[in-house]
Amino acid sequence: MDIDVNIGNEFLVVRILQKIAEFLQSLEFVCTNLYNIFLLFVLSTVQDNVEDNIQKGIKYSEKNCKKNFE
């Protein structure tokens, strides 16, 4: 009778460990997706800022060039 109880307990422990592993895998998936979303947001924000600064620099240069040649 003791053998059956031990086998049942071991099976329960294995199932609990499997559920913990599944949870950790899903948590890893969620964290990876959040990281990717954050990275895309940061990169798009930086790219927008760079493009804005380039346009401002072009306008500034054009304005100063016109002043120098007038």
Reported as a single tens digit per residue, the pLDDT across 16-57 is: 999 999 999 999 999 999 999 998 888 888 888 888 888 888
CA distance 11 to 21: 15
Helix, strand, coil content of the chain in percent (nearest 5): 95, 0, 5
- Asked if residue 12 has pLDDT above 50, the reply is yes
- Asked if residue 2 has pLDDT above 80, the reply is no
CA distance 20 to 10: 15
Q: For residue 1, give the DSSP letter.
A: -
